Structure 1
Amino acid sequence: MIKRSLEFARQLILDSLQDGDVAIDGTAGNGNDTLLLAKGVGDKGKVFAFDIQKEALENTYQRLIKHNLEHRVVLVNTGHENIKEHVTDKVSAIMFNFGYLPGGDHGIVTKLESTIPAIEQGLELLKENGVMSLMLYPGHYGGKWETDGVLTLVKNLNQKMYTVLHYNFINLQNFPPQLLVIQKKKNGI
């Protein structure tokens, strides 16, 4: 059975995590990915979840409380382009779910000028064999510009240092979501 893009991303991320790891949710949104990461890092791990909207962080916090996992997460009310100001540890997994907050103001969207620095900072923090997932939504206003810019960035990553997967349903209409998964190679091999 072919998995939907987000479902596939979540499975790859979970497979990359173990107890005690550090992970980042670069776009907390309603907290679904933050919750997944919090479960994956175990009691000894830590998740940093970023969002510019207080509503998103409150939604995330409430979701974490329902699962008694709020103690594993640091919620950060700033844009994902500021990741390295808050995270210094090497991380095993990073998730980005670009676009807008589902159920929120569709006028507030991620933008290429903050997305590119966030990805670049995330790649610096990613440990060997670490995985980054990038969910792209070209169908919303500005989404195609962001998607094209991110694709250009990842196509030019050094193949000795990174493996990049592009998971895309090419026969779906209306600009379906696209998934990019980046794995940092061990010792550049």
Structure 2
Amino acid sequence: MKNKPLRVTDLAWEFLRPMLNPGDIVVDATAGTGQDTVFLCQCVGETGRVFAFDIQAAALQQTKDNLEKSGYTDQVTLIHQSHDFMVPALKAAAVGEQAVKAIMFNLGYFPGGDQTITTQVETTMVALNGALSLLASGGLITICLYPGHPGGFEEAQAVIRWCETLEAPFVAHHFRTLNRKSPPTFVMIQRTR
């Protein structure tokens, strides 16, 4: 990563890596290309469980392909649903409240796919509210925001405003690049108890 700017996805990985353990239950709320899904598999190992959501079949297929290339398939459940169905889908898989150690959101569109299909404020807010109920004590929600595409700025602002209203036991942080126009930004929410 020498001489390359730090990406928001790099930040998410750097914060998550030291706090995830083998056997943890984790969620990739927006699978996309599957990079976050593979990363989560590496962190939770063979005894962990990874749930990956996406509304696009092409994204889930690319995620599946990346998982197979990386040797991770047994501990992953791919779910062809929007992230706002996360709570009922995990409940159906016998995952209860406060049982998930990390939930990753990489908002926007599927790189290399149909860029007119993007995450939406309404479904993202439902997913984030649900994620709070799933998050274990000490767990993290990471959110990569991309304000540069149509609708992205509004979605990013809605997420940031929502984070500002969170009360204990949640702590929210916002990281942004100061010298770029409309840069991606990174939000992290921790459950402290």
User: Shared fold (TM-score greater than 0.5)?
Assistant: yes
Query: Alignment partner for residue 101 of structure 1, among 99, 110, 123?
Result: 110
SS of the residue corresponding to residue 101 of structure 2 reads: strand
Matched AA of 2:58: E
Does 2:121 match 1:112? yes
CA–CA distance in 2 between the matches of 1:75 and 1:41? 16
1:32 maps to 35
Query: Alignment partner for residue 167 of structure 1, among 175, 182, 192?
Result: 175
Are the counterparts in 2 of residues 137 and 177 from structure 1 also a CA contact under 8 Å? yes
TM-score by length of 2: 0.93
CA–CA distance in 1 between the matches of 2:191 and 2:170? 5
Consecutive unaligned residues of structure 2, counting only runs of 5 or more, are: none
1:126 maps to 135
Q: CA deviation at 1:61?
A: 0.3
Alignment of 1:1-189 (within 5 A): 3-87=6-90, 88-89=95-96, 90-158=99-167, 160-173=168-181, 175-186=182-193
CA–CA distance in 2 between the matches of 1:167 and 1:35? 24
Are the counterparts in 2 of residues 16 and 93 from structure 1 also a CA contact under 8 Å? no
Matched AA of 2:18: D
Residue identity over aligned pairs, in percent, reads 37
**Runs of 4+, deviation exceeding 3 Å:** none
Q: What RMSD in Å do the two structures reach over aligned CA positions?
A: 1.1
Q: CA deviation at 1:164?
A: 1.1
Q: CA deviation at 1:83?
A: 0.3
SS of the residue corresponding to residue 74 of structure 2 reads: helix
Matched AA of 2:174: H
**Paired positions, count:** 184
Moved more, 9-18 or 45-54: 9-18
Moved more, 160-169 or 43-52: 160-169
